[in-house]
Structure 1
Amino acid sequence: MVTDDARTEAIQLFRSGVYVKDIATRLKLARASVRKILYDAGVSAPPRRMTEPEIKDAARRYEEGSSLARLGDRYGVSPGTIRLKLIRAGVEMRPTSVSQSLRQPSTRRAK
């Protein structure tokens, strides 16, 4: 159960510019709990929902080599949300190292 003091502190931290994940860590709460506190207090919008066209676009970009983190930044959601949406859309997840191999070749010179 979240105490009134924790609710008040979460709201104050958020208003001062602290990120939800950092508030959650500091107060030892789940991020979802912090988001709910903020939403219930009217200081934060409800969680961002991806539209079907965005999910299709994200799937295309992922298949072209974009990382989950980059896609999360693009659509304003977490990499975990991107991963879940892509899996539900039938996209096969690649091993972590594959995304790195699809990036531009290194410009470092061999010694």
Structure 2
Amino acid sequence: MTETTPTPRVHKLDERLDSETVAKIVAEYEAGGSSESIGALFCLSKRSVIKILREAGIKVRYPRMTEAELRRATMLYNSGSSLVGVGNRLGREHSTVYKALKRARVRMRDTHGR
């Protein structure tokens, strides 16, 4: 019985992706694709796509919440949901929800119980 040693998995993006793949990622993004959809297309995380774009000198878009999302986020937050809970319901990061609520001058709860 012969044992085969598993091939080590390469984690570093610059070792995993060739310049042609990076160019395709940049082209997809410049054509209007979201970092999340591009990540799914290339089996990468959203964070990895953003890192690749920044390293390629591309300005990354930060889509703000729509007025409808902001109204819903305000209602959910004011009814007691956490920022993480609101983000999960809206498909947004909790930090995005926090920034949007702060910009809208929503009174934020004390997270440390003081």
TM score, norm. by length of structure 2: 0.50
User: Could you tell me how far 1:6 is from its partner in structure 2?
Assistant: 6.8
Change (3 A) 1:59 1:35: farther
How many residues are matched?
79
> Does 2:14 correspond to 1:5?
yes
User: Could you tell me how far 1:36 is from its partner in structure 2?
Assistant: 5.6
User: Could you tell me how far 1:53 is from its partner in structure 2?
Assistant: 1.6
Query: What is the alpha-carbon root mean square deviation over aligned residues?
Result: 3.6
Q: Which residue of 2 aligns with 1:81?
A: 96
CA contact (8 A) 1:55 1:85 kept: yes
Q: Which residue of 1 aligns with 2:45?
A: 19
Q: Which residue of 1 aligns with 2:107?
A: 92
User: Could you tell me how far 1:58 is from its partner in structure 2?
Assistant: 0.6
The share of aligned pairs that are identical, in percent, is 31
Q: Partner letter of residue 96 of structure 2?
A: T
How big is each residue's C-alpha offset from its partner over 1:25-83, in whole Å with a ceiling of 9 and x where there is no partner? xxxxxx8434667xx7xxxxx65442112101111110101111111122222101100
Give unmatched runs, 5+ long, in structure 2.
1-12, 26-38
C-alpha separation between the residues in 1 aligned to 2:82 and 2:53?
25
TM score, norm. by length of structure 1: 0.51
Q: Which residue of 2 aligns with 1:68?
A: 83
Which consecutive aligned stretches of 4+ in structure 1 deviate over 4 angstroms post-superposition? 9-12, 34-37
Change (3 A) 1:82 1:6: farther
Greater Rg over alpha carbons, structure: 2
1:58 to 60, 63, 73: 73
C-alpha separation between the residues in 2 aligned to 1:67 and 1:97?
13
C-alpha separation between the residues in 2 aligned to 1:34 and 1:96?
34
Give unmatched runs, 5+ long, in structure 1.
24-30, 41-45, 99-111
Q: Which residue of 1 aligns with 2:51?
A: 33
